[in-house]
Amino acid sequence: MFDQHLLQLNDSHLHIKFADIDELSYLFSGKLLLRSEIHLVEEHFQELVTSGCFTPIPSIKKKFFQPQCQRCGNAERSLFAAIPCQTCNKPHIYCRKCIEMGRVIECEPLYCWNGPMAKWQRHESPCSWDGQLTVDQQRAADRISQAIIKNEKEILVWAVCGAGKTEMLFPGITKALQLGKRICLATPRADVVRELLPRFQQAFSKISIQALYGGSEDRDATAQFIIATTHQLLRFQHAFDVMIIDEIDAFPYHADPSLPFAANRSIISTGTKIYLTATPRQKHRMKIASKKLPHIFVPLRFHGYPLPVPVFKMCPALRKDLEKNLPPMAFIRWLKKREHPDRQLLIFVPTIALAEKMKAKLIVLLLKDGFLKDDFDLVSVHASDQDREEKVNHFRQKKMSMLITTTILERGVTFPSVDVAVLDAGNRVFDEAALVQIAGRAGRSPKDPTGEVLFFHDGKTEAMVQAVKSIKAMNKRGGVG
């Protein structure tokens, strides 16, 4: 990953010579950049600074003797350090939190564009999608469009797993493009960005859409419609009229204060923020309950069937089995008499180490009983897996029948017909949101709208109980529970 970054940094030698000011306004308006990220020759750059097109702003400010990075908002003491700067002969502090995106150091300012603003085009009929929305989806889509037209500040769209969130956005985005607004769809995970880009390119075939994530091909972010990871928002300031944040409850967005900081900074003051989630966190639920956050709830999956309710399976000897990297006996028993043995099986485990080790043991065990075709019928996948995209694609194409995964596949991926088993569901990595999302992997297709979800545990946890409770509550609100 680092090498990729380096390559791209070195490409910056391809400096732009004297471009005209309109072109520059598309490149730089709405951005907050370090000098090293502005690929202009020094002479030209200085000219733009003196003419006031670029405004330098201090990169680290001190607030009550506490430094704060102006790019990522970090104010954590342990994430600042000092370099004895030889050019200025005194120590300078720098931010260690966002250093992956280039070092922010006290003695070098950040630059924002103050020249002529980019004029975004109004598109008459941008949408090339001809699908049909369900009644529930339409209701939500109308509400989103209304929020965009009226410049409402924020709205949360709470739609159950498999409700078809992406399609619900199309009418709203169409409206925004007709009004000449700039749009950003941000999500915490790069995988999701890669999955969303082709879908939107298909639905808005005439619009230029750029995808930004660590190591992406598009780097200059000049498009009217941008799909990005939330990390990339650190380079923006007052850029977007409409900001859609997908999976707002997902890691790392909800755990890292820099990301909401950047998201809030990157929209203009009259802009609209749209949050999408299937499992809102406590914070947002409280705001909804106290009517401080407008929301729209979509309780039904697009095919109209309820969410599968997880079944608990107690395994008293779970610890012992897991120590030997074996699945619990109850899992094997269930596997042997599954109702739909033709469905693929998704197995969630709490740790990467367990995913890899259990794979080997399970293959031996299941080959003997004839549940697997061959050695490659069961694979494991986790966050630091190089071939993760490929494996997930193969699983989707039904090239293998079982997949062992960590929580990375808990959301954003769709497999048409699977059963889901969670081993050690009581582990703390499986919080309520994760368990609801995991259960939501089953029964995604209208052809096979149900699916079994099993939690193997050695003692119920609050998260498990709450997950089932909230799934039942959502089904009830949808009138199908």
Partner 1 sequence: MHCVWCDQVIIQEMSWSNIFFLQKPKNLCDKCENKLEILSGNRCKRCSRASEADECNDCLWWAKQFNGQDPLEASYSIFTYNSLMHDLVAKWKYRGDYHLANAFQQIFKETFVKHFTNLHKGAVTIPIPLSAERFSDRKFNQAKVLADFLPLKQINIMNRIDSEKQSKKTRKERLSTKNPFSITEKVNKPVILVDDIYTTGTTLRHAASVLKENGCPHIYAYTLIRG
Give me the residues that bind partner 1 (CB under 8 A), please.
Answer: 2-3, 6, 78-79, 81-87, 92, 94, 96, 99-100, 102-103, 105
Closest approach of partner 1 to the CB of residue 80, in Å: 9
**Type of residue found at 449:** P
Closest approach of partner 1 to the CB of residue 33, in Å: 16
| CB closer to partner 1 out of 2 and 64 | 2
- Backbone phi, then psi, for 273, in 5-degree steps? -105, 130
Closest approach of partner 1 to the CB of residue 283, in Å: 23
| CB closer to partner 1 out of 4 and 393 | 4
| CB closer to partner 1 out of 98 and 378 | 98
Closest approach of partner 1 to the CB of residue 60, in Å: 15
Closest approach of partner 1 to the CB of residue 96, in Å: 6
Closest approach of partner 1 to the CB of residue 67, in Å: 14
C-alpha 166/C-alpha 157 separation (Å) is 11
| CB closer to partner 1 out of 34 and 197 | 34
- One-character DSSP codes across 172-224: HHHHHHHTT--EEEEES-HHHHHHHHHHHHHHTTTS-EEEE-TT-S--S---S
| CB closer to partner 1 out of 204 and 213 | 213
| CB closer to partner 1 out of 50 and 89 | 89
Angle of CA points 48, 216, 393, to nearest 5°: 165
- Backbone phi, then psi, for 280, in 5-degree steps? -60, 145
C-alpha 16/C-alpha 5 separation (Å) is 20
| CB closer to partner 1 out of 34 and 471 | 34
Closest approach of partner 1 to the CB of residue 8, in Å: 12
Closest approach of partner 1 to the CB of residue 99, in Å: 5
Coil, strand or helix at 265: helix
DSSP state of 99: G
Q: What residues pair up with 405 in beta bridges, in sequence order?
A: 348, 381
* CA 158 to chain CA mean position, Å: 16
Closest approach of partner 1 to the CB of residue 202, in Å: 37
330, 346, 350, 377 from 335: Cα distances, Å: 8, 12, 20, 15
Closest approach of partner 1 to the CB of residue 88, in Å: 10
- One-character DSSP codes across 364-417: HHHHHHT-SSSGGGEEEE-TT-TTHHHHHHHHHTTS-SEEEE-GGGSSS---SS
Structure tokens at 70: 């102006």
Handedness of CA 161, 162, 166, 168 (dihedral sign): negative
Closest approach of partner 1 to the CB of residue 417, in Å: 37
| CB closer to partner 1 out of 66 and 282 | 66
| CB closer to partner 1 out of 3 and 130 | 3
| CB closer to partner 1 out of 75 and 99 | 99
78: left (phi over 0), alpha (psi -120 to 50) or beta: alpha
Structure tokens at 248: 């707002």
C-alpha 166/C-alpha 415 separation (Å) is 16
| CB closer to partner 1 out of 79 and 480 | 79
**Type of residue found at 174:** T
Query: Which residue in 123, 118, 72, 115 sits closest to 94, CA to CA?
Result: 72
C-alpha 330/C-alpha 455 separation (Å) is 11
C-beta separation of 309 from 442 below 8 A: no
